[in-house]
Amino acid sequence: MRISDPYGRNSISQTSASPEIDPRKARGSSDEKTAQVSSQDRVTLSPEAQEYALAAKLASEDEDARAAKVAELKTQIASGTYKTPSSEDVAGAILRHFRGEA
């Protein structure tokens, strides 16, 4: 079995077929007290799905730091000490980024 999202970012593959289980043996009959299943289910995540999971984990761990930064910025804005860069500085930074200089 393979499940993919419409954009092909992640997929799940089934690596083994489910075994046929006799219901009488699974519940335990008078002849046999236990039934054992030898196969195991496994899930394999694509590299994209693994990367997404890591990003989600890091984002949740960074939530406290983000909240502290937001609180600091709110304080600066309320007190009038928050400084914004000039539009020329922002434009220069954007150009440097897209030129690969940053």
Q: What stretch of H or E contains 54?
A: helix 47-61
Per-residue pLDDT tens digits for 39-55: 788 888 899 999 999 99
Q: State residue 40's pLDDT score.
A: 83
Each domain of the chain, given as residue ranges in start order, spans 2-29+36-99
Q: State residue 5's pLDDT score.
A: 59
Give the pTM: 0.33
Higher-scoring residue by pLDDT: 94, 28 = 94
Per-residue pLDDT tens digits for 61-79: 778 888 889 999 999 999 9
Q: Which residues of 16-32 are buried (b: 16+ CB within 10 A; e: fewer)?
A: eeeeeeeeeeeeeeeee
Q: State residue 94's pLDDT score.
A: 95
